């Protein structure tokens, strides 16, 4: 038999080459059997088969064995890494500088990056370390290969390796070779990763590097509504995740004076927005995505809550839009009191949109007394409808207007108002008709910040200082699709530094997610990040000046985030010294911390997402890159030590849909540590979020998990979240929406009985 090589030549099959290639990749992986993969690959050989087909068969074979032995994921990643090297070298590319030169020749790389690399090619080439590819799990490297590496426009083969990709991003985001190499070291160590738009676009012809865009509600005019459609399309085209309020738009039945007709309300406008979001698919890299916010007093709120229903008039459904409630404290108080709630047409009470706190409550009560309400209903009835929407669709997120404004650094001046959050509910910035809020994101991999069985706070501080400078630099490099985004970003210079891998840290320290020790550690991590972020931003202000809006912030008046929460930090002396420095120099950035969802970049980094508990010890993930089995490698290591990682136990975990709670032989201590999100009390997740919230000046993408949601349970949960002072919550995850059908447990290559995460609608924040 003969095989076809990548260059088109045919040669006789050499089975020993297949075996040797797999054995080389398995070096140091003590728990894998390279011959098992080799034999399966050899079994797929046929006359005329391409070497690429055989490589892919080896990779898939190794990946399919992950559920039985996690180390096969490392083997699959190494095999894929070898394929990438062959692909890149097939284009005559052997170094980073050659990759950049080819990318520029093909029209993919911009002049600025090319010139920077040409000036320092040897330094950058020498700094690359191909051995760091061994840190990738298969799922992570496959994601990088399929979706992030630059590709030849005609051949569609990649023109850069993963390490060249990291160096490209680092050089594009740096001001000097030393800074670039320092940043490359952080990226390639998987200590930290920027969000997807930065990874997609840094160094390219269109450097739209920002993750999130928040558009104020269109003014109640035809021209402004259509202008906002155009704005959304431009932002979505370059990988932005969109948040938009619709609270200013008049409700159904409102008089249209120019035609003497009646408005059809917000639903037809949102139907048009829904179609636009679906049409602009972000260059084919992923679906467009947007979230619409509506205040709870808007007269169309009940129709708004029906937009994601799976039944009813399709002309009044928006299956591509996400929905979020922008909830004032007064509504929650009336729910608690069992009082009535009034709904208004914003054309009658235009002032309510720009008011919060006591000023909102006074204006709201005046409007009620004036008799201009369109409808009154029991507050608990509307709240129950909101809970049903959450339970049935996961949508209709609860975000709290007063908490968001009360603790927003930008909102010290009452003229500056937070009107909404973003697509993933972690960004809180002021907006207006003249300013479209923007945020640039990145996340620290906490799993890479442990040393000798302890969390390494010194390393965490060093990482924060490096990456805050990178995030600030994005503001100046960024391509702004519309002028209102440039205006806002230059005035406020906000960034959003987040985290991922909290669950990994707790597993490695053997702490249950809901333990007091976990709560204390989570809070200390948040305080450390906030301190070093502020300190670095103060350094930047001393070097380059404070951001232009600094005088309108709470920080300018000596108040930091924990002051706005009325909480005391753990180390007050260092905070007082920092406040004195801020008073002297100001801050370069108005906002610094936001915990975004990190499904994609956490996969690249090989850690659990953001601040979330795991959803299952064994599960299948469905992504645009394919389906991937994943197993909890920490649990596997524990069971191996006990001699319990045997077929019978693996089958029992599959049968338990990734839970170990009913596996009798597993010790109770492990059952406590390795509970899934469905088995944890959600009060613990809320308490963790509230405790760290005093050190998060934006917000957190906080998913909550209930296996079988009921209105009663959800009502209590979100009431508790509001009382704890949370600014926002994100998806409600329910188990029926995340299960897949059982298959036999005898075939490890098949999808096991496990949980599948709800598909994310956007990766802009990830």
424 is catalytic: yes
71 is catalytic: no
Percent of the chain whose predicted confidence (pLDDT) is above 90: 78
pLDDT of residue 52: 86
pTM summary value: 0.93
- Rg value, the chain, Cα: 26
Q: Are residues 182 and 223 in the same domain?
A: no
Q: Does the pLDDT of residue 752 top 60, yes or no?
A: no
Q: Does the pLDDT of residue 550 top 80, yes or no?
A: yes
Q: Which domain holds residue 220?
A: 212-411
Which of 154, 189, 224 is the endpoint of a domain?
A: 189
Compute the C-alpha angle 583/585/589, nearest 5°. Answer: 100
Structure tokens at 21: 């290639």
Mean pLDDT of the chain: 91
Which residue out of 110, 133, 395, 422 is catalytically annotated? 422
| CA dihedral of 140, 143, 148, 150, whole degrees rounded to 10 | 110
- Examine residue 269 and state whether it is found in any structural domain, yes or no: yes
3-state secondary structure of 264: strand
Q: Are residues 174 and 218 in the same domain?
A: no
Q: Are residues 224 and 294 in the same domain?
A: yes
Q: Are residues 83 and 134 in the same domain?
A: yes
Q: Are strands 437-445 and 450-451 parallel, antiparallel or unpaired?
A: unpaired
Q: Are residues 183 and 267 in the same domain?
A: no
Q: What is the mean pLDDT of residues 29-41?
A: 91
CB count in 10 Å sphere of residue 669: 11
Which residue out of 160, 426, 527, 757 is catalytically annotated? 426
Q: Are residues 242 and 385 in the same domain?
A: yes
Q: Averaging pLDDT over each range in 152-156, 380-384, 476-480, which range is the top one?
A: 380-384
- Examine residue 247 and state whether it is found in any structural domain, yes or no: yes
Q: How confident is the model at residue 748 (pLDDT cuts 50, 70, 90)?
A: very low
Q: Does the pLDDT of residue 750 top 70, yes or no?
A: no
Which of 122, 154, 189 is the endpoint of a domain?
A: 189
Q: At which residue do the structure tokens 């207006």 appear?
A: 432
Structure tokens at 611: 């601040």
Evaluate whether 131 touches 163 at the Cβ level (below 8 Å): no
Evaluate whether 386 touches 398 at the Cβ level (below 8 Å): yes
Least confident span in 601-610, 625-634, 672-681: 625-634
Return the CATH number at 364. Answer: 3.20.70.20
Q: Does the pLDDT of residue 388 top 50, yes or no?
A: yes
- Examine residue 351 and state whether it is found in any structural domain, yes or no: yes
pLDDT of residue 211: 87
| Number of folded domains that form the chain | 2
Q: Does the pLDDT of residue 742 top 70, yes or no?
A: no
Least confident span in 168-182, 200-214, 277-291, 306-320: 277-291
From CA 196, how far away is CA 624, in angstroms rounded? Answer: 14
Q: How confident is the model at residue 6 (pLDDT cuts 50, 70, 90)?
A: confident
3-state secondary structure of 11: strand
Q: Are residues 155 and 253 in the same domain?
A: no
Structure tokens at 701: 């993408």
pLDDT of residue 765: 66
Which of 376, 396, 411 is the endpoint of a domain?
A: 411
DSSP assignment, residue 325? E
- Examine residue 465 and state whether it is found in any structural domain, yes or no: no
Dump the DSSP string for 203-226: TBSS-----EEEEPPPPSSHHHHH
Evaluate whether 153 touches 109 at the Cβ level (below 8 Å): no
- Examine residue 496 and state whether it is found in any structural domain, yes or no: no
pLDDT tens track for 411-421: 999 999 999 99
Long-range contacts of 378-383 (CB under 8 A, 24+ apart): 378/338, 378/339, 378/340, 378/341, 379/331, 379/334, 379/335, 379/337, 379/338, 379/339, 379/340, 379/341, 380/335, 380/338, 382/296, 382/301, 382/302, 382/331, 382/341, 383/331, 383/335, 383/715
Residue 290 bridge partners (DSSP)? 242, 321
314 is catalytic: no
Residue 611, Ramachandran bin (φ over 0: left; ψ between -120 and 50: alpha; else beta)? alpha
Phi and psi at residue 214, in whole multiples of 5°? -120, 115
Q: Are residues 170 and 216 in the same domain?
A: no
- Examine residue 693 and state whether it is found in any structural domain, yes or no: no
Whats the size of the chain, residue-wise?
A: 766
Compute the C-alpha angle 574/578/580, nearest 5°. Answer: 120
pLDDT of residue 755: 34
Q: Are residues 27 and 155 in the same domain?
A: yes
Phi and psi at residue 2, in whole multiples of 5°? -125, 150
Which residue out of 408, 424, 610, 754 is catalytically annotated? 424
From CA 211, how far away is CA 325, in angstroms rounded? Answer: 22
Q: At which residue do the structure tokens 């919230």 appear?
A: 693
Evaluate whether 443 touches 514 at the Cβ level (below 8 Å): no
Q: Are residues 292 and 398 in the same domain?
A: yes
DSSP assignment, residue 112? H
Q: Are residues 224 and 335 in the same domain?
A: yes
- Examine residue 63 and state whether it is found in any structural domain, yes or no: yes
Phi and psi at residue 49, in whole multiples of 5°? -60, 145
Q: How confident is the model at residue 285 (pLDDT cuts 50, 70, 90)?
A: low
Evaluate whether 316 touches 307 at the Cβ level (below 8 Å): yes
Q: Are residues 159 and 223 in the same domain?
A: no
From CA 575, how far away is CA 2, in angstroms rounded? Answer: 70
Helix ranges (H only) for 586-667 are: 599-605, 633-641, 647-655
From CA 675, how far away is CA 349, in angstroms rounded? Answer: 49
- Examine residue 110 and state whether it is found in any structural domain, yes or no: yes
């Amino acid at each position: 038999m003969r095989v076809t090589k990548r260059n088109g030549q045919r040669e006789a099959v050499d089975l020993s080459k297949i075996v040797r290639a797999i054995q080389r990749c398995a070096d140091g992986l003590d728990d894998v059997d390279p011959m098992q993969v080799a034999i399966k690959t050899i079994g797929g050989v046929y006359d005329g088969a391409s070497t690429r087909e055989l490589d892919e068969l080896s990779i898939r074979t190794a990946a399919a064995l992950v559920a039985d032995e996690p180390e096969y994921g490392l083997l699959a990643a190494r095999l894929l890494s070898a394929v990438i090297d062959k692909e890149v070298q097939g284009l005559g590319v052997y170094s980073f500088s050659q990759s950049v030169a080819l990318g520029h020749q093909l029209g993919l790389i911009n002049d600025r990056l090319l010139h920077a690399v040409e000036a320092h090619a040897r330094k950058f080439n020498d700094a690359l370390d191909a051995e760091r590819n061994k840190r990738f799990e298969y799922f992570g490297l496959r994601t990088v290969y399929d979706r992030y590496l630059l590709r030849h426009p005609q051949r569609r083969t990649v023109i850069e390796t993963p390490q060249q990709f990291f160096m490209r991003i680092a050089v594009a985001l740096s001001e000097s070779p030393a800074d670039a190499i320092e940043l490359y070291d952080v990226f390639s160590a998987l200590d930290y990763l920027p969000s997807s738009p930065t990874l997609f676009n840094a160094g390219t012809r269109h450097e739209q590097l920002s993750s999130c865009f928040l558009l104020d509600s269109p003014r109640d005019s035809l021209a402004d509504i259509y202008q906002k459609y155009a704005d959304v399309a431009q932002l979505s085209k370059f990988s932005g995740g969109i948040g938009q309020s619709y609270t200013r738009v008049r409700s159904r039945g409102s008089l249209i004076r120019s035609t003497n007709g009646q408005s059809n309300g917000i639903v037809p406008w949102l139907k048009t927005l829904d179609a636009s979001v679906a049409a602009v698919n972000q260059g084919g890299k992923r679906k467009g995505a947007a979230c619409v916010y509506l205040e709870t007093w808007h007269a169309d709120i009940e129709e708004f809550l029906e937009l994601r229903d799976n039944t009813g008039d399709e002309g009044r459904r928006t299956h591509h839009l996400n929905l979020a409630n922008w909830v004032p404290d007064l509504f929650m108080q009336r729910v608690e009191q069992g009082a009535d709630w009034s709904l208004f047409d914003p054309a009658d009470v235009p002032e309510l949109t720009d008011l919060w706190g006591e000023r909102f409550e006074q204006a709201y009560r005046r409007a009620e007394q004036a008799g201009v309400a369109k409808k009154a209903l029991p507050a608990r009835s509307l709240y129950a409808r909101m809970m049903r929407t959450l339970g049935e669709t996961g949508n209709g997120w609860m975000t709290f207007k007063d908490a968001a404004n009360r603790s927003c650094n930008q909102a010290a001046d009452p003229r500056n108002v937070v009107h909404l959050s973003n697509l993933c509910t972690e960004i809180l910035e002021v907006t207006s008709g003249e300013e479209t809020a923007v945020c640039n994101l990145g996340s620290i991999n906490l799993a890479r910040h442990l040393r000798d069985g302890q969390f390494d706070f010194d390393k965490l501080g060093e990482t924060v200082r490096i990456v805050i400078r990178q995030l600030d630099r994005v503001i100046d490099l960024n391509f702004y699709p519309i002028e209102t985004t440039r205006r806002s970003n230059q005035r406020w210079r906000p960034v959003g530094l987040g985290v991922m891998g909290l669950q990994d840290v707790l597993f490695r320290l053997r702490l249950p997610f809901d333990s007091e020790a976990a709560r204390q550690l989570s809070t200390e991590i948040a305080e450390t990040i906030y301190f070093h972020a502020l300190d670095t931003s103060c350094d930047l202000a001393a070097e380059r000046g404070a951001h232009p809006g600094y005088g309108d912030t709470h920080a300018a008046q000596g108040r930091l985030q924990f002051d706005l929460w009325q909480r005391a930090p753990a180390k007050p002396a260092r905070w007082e010294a920092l406040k004195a420095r801020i008073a002297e120099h100001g801050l370069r950035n108005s906002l610094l911390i936001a915990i975004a969802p990190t499904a994609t970049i956490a996969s690249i980094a090989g850690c659990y997402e953001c601040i979330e508990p795991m959803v299952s010890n064994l599960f299948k993930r469905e992504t645009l890159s394919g389906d991937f089995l994943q197993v909890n490698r920490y649990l596997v290591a524990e069971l191996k030590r006990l001699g319990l990682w045997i077929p019978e136990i693996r089958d029992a975990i599959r049968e338990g849909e990734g839970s170990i709670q009913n596996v009798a032989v597993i010790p109770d201590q492990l059952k406590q540590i390795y509970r899934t999100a469905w088995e944890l009390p959600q009060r613990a997740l809320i308490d963790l979020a509230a405790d760290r919230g005093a050190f998060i000046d934006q917000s957190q993408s906080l998913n909550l998990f209930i296996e079988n949601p009921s209105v009663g349970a959800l009502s209590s949960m979100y009431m508790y979240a509001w009382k704890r002072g949370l600014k926002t919550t994100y998806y409600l995850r329910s188990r029926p929406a995340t299960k897949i059908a059982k298959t036999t447990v005898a075939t490890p290559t098949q999808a096991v009985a496990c949980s599948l995460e709800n598909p994310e609608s956007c990766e802009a924040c990830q």
